[in-house]
Amino acid sequence: MKMTSGIKTIMFDMGGVLINLNKQACIDAYKALGYDRVEEFIGNYLQKGPFLDLESGQISPEQFRDAIRREIPRPVTDRQIDDAFIAFLVDMPDYTLDMLLQLKKRYQIFLLSNTNGIIMDYVRRHIFNRQGWSMEHYFDRMFLSYQMGLVKPDPAIFEQVVAETGILPSETLFLDDSSKNTETAEKLGFRTFVVTQGEDFRYIFDEK
Protein backbone atom coordinates (compact mmCIF):
# COMPACT_ATOMS: atom_id res chain seq x y z
CA MET A 1 0.00 0.00 0.00
CA LYS A 2 1.27 3.45 -0.88
CA MET A 3 2.20 5.64 2.09
CA THR A 4 -0.40 8.23 1.06
CA SER A 5 -3.20 5.81 0.15
CA GLY A 6 -6.41 7.06 1.79
CA ILE A 7 -4.61 10.06 3.28
CA LYS A 8 -6.34 13.46 3.40
CA THR A 9 -4.05 15.32 5.81
CA ILE A 10 -0.26 15.37 6.11
CA MET A 11 1.12 16.67 9.40
CA PHE A 12 4.79 17.62 9.62
CA ASP A 13 7.13 18.07 12.52
CA MET A 14 9.48 21.00 11.88
CA GLY A 15 12.96 20.47 13.39
CA GLY A 16 14.65 17.35 12.04
CA VAL A 17 12.01 16.99 9.31
CA LEU A 18 11.60 20.27 7.44
CA ILE A 19 14.63 21.97 8.98
CA ASN A 20 17.92 20.18 9.68
CA LEU A 21 19.25 20.48 13.23
CA ASN A 22 22.61 20.43 14.99
CA LYS A 23 22.19 19.92 18.73
CA GLN A 24 25.93 20.08 19.39
CA ALA A 25 26.21 23.51 17.77
CA CYS A 26 23.57 24.79 20.19
CA ILE A 27 25.33 23.21 23.17
CA ASP A 28 28.68 24.64 22.09
CA ALA A 29 27.19 28.11 21.64
CA TYR A 30 25.70 28.13 25.15
CA LYS A 31 28.92 26.82 26.66
CA ALA A 32 30.81 29.61 24.91
CA LEU A 33 28.55 32.05 26.76
CA GLY A 34 29.41 30.35 30.05
CA TYR A 35 26.20 28.34 30.42
CA ASP A 36 27.80 25.04 31.41
CA ARG A 37 24.58 23.26 32.44
CA VAL A 38 23.17 23.29 28.92
CA GLU A 39 23.86 19.59 28.30
CA GLU A 40 21.53 18.70 31.19
CA PHE A 41 18.62 20.28 29.34
CA ILE A 42 19.12 20.04 25.56
CA GLY A 43 17.91 16.91 23.76
CA ASN A 44 17.33 15.94 20.16
CA TYR A 45 13.58 15.56 20.58
CA LEU A 46 12.50 16.88 23.98
CA GLN A 47 14.07 19.50 26.19
CA LYS A 48 14.25 19.79 29.98
CA GLY A 49 14.48 22.56 32.56
CA PRO A 50 13.98 26.12 31.25
CA PHE A 51 14.12 24.88 27.65
CA LEU A 52 11.10 22.62 28.24
CA ASP A 53 9.33 25.36 30.18
CA LEU A 54 9.76 27.62 27.15
CA GLU A 55 8.57 25.01 24.65
CA SER A 56 5.52 24.16 26.75
CA GLY A 57 4.58 27.81 27.15
CA GLN A 58 5.10 27.78 30.92
CA ILE A 59 7.51 30.71 30.69
CA SER A 60 7.96 33.58 28.22
CA PRO A 61 11.11 34.24 26.17
CA GLU A 62 11.94 37.02 28.62
CA GLN A 63 11.66 34.66 31.60
CA PHE A 64 13.72 32.07 29.73
CA ARG A 65 16.51 34.56 29.07
CA ASP A 66 16.50 35.60 32.73
CA ALA A 67 16.75 31.95 33.81
CA ILE A 68 19.75 31.41 31.54
CA ARG A 69 21.35 34.69 32.56
CA ARG A 70 21.22 33.74 36.25
CA GLU A 71 23.48 30.75 35.50
CA ILE A 72 26.11 32.72 33.58
CA PRO A 73 28.83 34.50 35.58
CA ARG A 74 29.18 37.45 33.19
CA PRO A 75 26.78 39.85 31.45
CA VAL A 76 25.15 38.47 28.30
CA THR A 77 22.60 40.12 26.05
CA ASP A 78 19.22 38.83 24.92
CA ARG A 79 20.65 38.57 21.41
CA GLN A 80 23.52 36.37 22.56
CA ILE A 81 21.13 34.01 24.37
CA ASP A 82 18.80 33.86 21.37
CA ASP A 83 21.63 33.33 18.88
CA ALA A 84 22.93 30.39 20.92
CA PHE A 85 19.49 28.76 20.71
CA ILE A 86 19.18 29.52 17.00
CA ALA A 87 22.50 27.71 16.45
CA PHE A 88 20.35 24.55 16.75
CA LEU A 89 19.01 25.29 13.25
CA VAL A 90 21.20 24.32 10.30
CA ASP A 91 19.23 24.83 7.09
CA MET A 92 16.14 23.90 5.13
CA PRO A 93 16.56 21.97 1.87
CA ASP A 94 15.90 24.15 -1.19
CA TYR A 95 13.03 21.92 -2.35
CA THR A 96 11.04 22.09 0.89
CA LEU A 97 8.82 25.10 0.25
CA ASP A 98 7.87 23.98 -3.26
CA MET A 99 7.18 20.50 -1.89
CA LEU A 100 4.77 21.91 0.69
CA LEU A 101 2.95 23.98 -1.93
CA GLN A 102 2.59 21.00 -4.25
CA LEU A 103 1.31 18.78 -1.45
CA LYS A 104 -1.12 21.51 -0.37
CA LYS A 105 -2.91 21.11 -3.71
CA ARG A 106 -3.82 17.52 -2.80
CA TYR A 107 -3.90 17.38 1.01
CA GLN A 108 -4.50 19.45 4.09
CA ILE A 109 -1.04 20.37 5.36
CA PHE A 110 -0.50 20.79 9.11
CA LEU A 111 2.55 21.63 11.20
CA LEU A 112 2.88 20.11 14.69
CA SER A 113 6.08 21.19 16.39
CA ASN A 114 7.68 21.32 19.80
CA THR A 115 9.09 24.81 19.50
CA ASN A 116 9.20 28.24 21.11
CA GLY A 117 8.81 31.92 20.37
CA ILE A 118 12.54 32.56 19.95
CA ILE A 119 12.95 29.86 17.33
CA MET A 120 9.68 30.69 15.58
CA ASP A 121 10.57 34.36 15.23
CA TYR A 122 13.80 33.40 13.49
CA VAL A 123 12.20 30.69 11.35
CA ARG A 124 9.50 33.06 10.12
CA ARG A 125 11.91 35.88 9.25
CA HIS A 126 14.88 33.96 7.89
CA ILE A 127 13.82 30.49 6.68
CA PHE A 128 10.19 30.37 5.56
CA ASN A 129 10.27 33.80 3.91
CA ARG A 130 12.41 32.79 0.91
CA GLN A 131 9.58 33.03 -1.62
CA GLY A 132 8.13 36.24 -0.22
CA TRP A 133 5.21 34.63 1.62
CA SER A 134 4.51 34.22 5.30
CA MET A 135 4.92 30.84 6.95
CA GLU A 136 1.14 30.43 7.09
CA HIS A 137 1.07 30.31 3.28
CA TYR A 138 2.55 26.80 3.39
CA PHE A 139 0.26 25.25 6.02
CA ASP A 140 -3.48 24.98 6.48
CA ARG A 141 -2.95 24.88 10.24
CA MET A 142 0.05 25.35 12.51
CA PHE A 143 0.09 23.73 15.95
CA LEU A 144 2.96 24.99 18.10
CA SER A 145 3.72 23.53 21.51
CA TYR A 146 4.36 26.82 23.30
CA GLN A 147 1.00 28.19 22.15
CA MET A 148 -0.87 25.00 23.03
CA GLY A 149 0.71 24.44 26.45
CA LEU A 150 1.43 20.85 25.39
CA VAL A 151 4.45 19.01 24.01
CA LYS A 152 4.95 15.81 22.07
CA PRO A 153 4.91 12.93 22.87
CA ASP A 154 2.00 13.74 25.21
CA PRO A 155 -1.11 12.16 23.61
CA ALA A 156 -3.06 15.29 24.57
CA ILE A 157 -1.32 17.38 21.92
CA PHE A 158 -2.50 15.01 19.17
CA GLU A 159 -5.96 14.81 20.70
CA GLN A 160 -6.21 18.60 20.67
CA VAL A 161 -5.33 18.72 16.97
CA VAL A 162 -8.10 16.22 16.27
CA ALA A 163 -10.59 18.10 18.46
CA GLU A 164 -9.85 21.45 16.82
CA THR A 165 -9.86 20.27 13.21
CA GLY A 166 -12.09 17.20 13.05
CA ILE A 167 -9.47 15.23 11.11
CA LEU A 168 -9.53 11.46 11.27
CA PRO A 169 -6.22 10.01 12.50
CA SER A 170 -6.63 7.08 10.08
CA GLU A 171 -6.65 9.59 7.19
CA THR A 172 -3.66 11.55 8.52
CA LEU A 173 0.02 10.90 7.83
CA PHE A 174 2.33 12.27 10.55
CA LEU A 175 6.03 12.76 9.85
CA ASP A 176 8.45 13.20 12.76
CA ASP A 177 12.10 12.44 13.47
CA SER A 178 11.32 11.00 16.93
CA SER A 179 10.06 7.43 17.18
CA LYS A 180 8.59 8.27 20.60
CA ASN A 181 6.37 10.86 18.95
CA THR A 182 5.32 8.57 16.11
CA GLU A 183 4.61 5.71 18.53
CA THR A 184 2.21 7.92 20.48
CA ALA A 185 0.55 9.00 17.24
CA GLU A 186 0.21 5.40 16.06
CA LYS A 187 -1.53 4.40 19.28
CA LEU A 188 -4.08 7.11 18.52
CA GLY A 189 -4.64 5.77 15.01
CA PHE A 190 -2.41 8.05 12.95
CA ARG A 191 -0.36 6.76 10.03
CA THR A 192 3.27 7.70 10.63
CA PHE A 193 6.69 7.95 9.04
CA VAL A 194 9.96 8.45 10.95
CA VAL A 195 12.30 10.82 9.12
CA THR A 196 16.06 10.35 9.39
CA GLN A 197 18.00 13.61 9.82
CA GLY A 198 18.85 15.03 6.40
CA GLU A 199 16.73 12.48 4.54
CA ASP A 200 15.03 13.46 1.28
CA PHE A 201 11.69 11.82 2.05
CA ARG A 202 9.78 13.13 -0.97
CA TYR A 203 9.60 9.62 -2.39
CA ILE A 204 6.87 8.69 0.10
CA PHE A 205 4.52 11.12 -1.66
CA ASP A 206 5.08 9.53 -5.07
CA GLU A 207 1.69 8.74 -6.57
CA LYS A 208 3.08 6.06 -8.90
Is residue 155 reached through a cis peptide bond, with omega within 30 degrees of 0 on the bond before it? no
Catalytic site includes residue 13: yes
Helices (H), the chain: 23-33, 38-41, 49-55, 61-70, 78-86, 96-104, 117-126, 145-148, 155-165, 179-187
Catalytic residue among 13, 53, 82, 177: 13
Check if the beta carbon of residue 193 is closer than 8 Å to that of residue 182.
yes
Question: Angle at CA 198, nearest 5°, toward 195 and 201?
Answer: 50
SS3 at position 34: coil
Q: Which of 79, 154, 86, 161 is nearest to 116 (CA)?
A: 86
- CA 167 vs CA 50, 93, 102: distances in Å: 33, 28, 20
Check if the beta carbon of residue 22 is closer than 8 Å to that of residue 90.
yes
Q: Which residues are catalytic?
A: 13
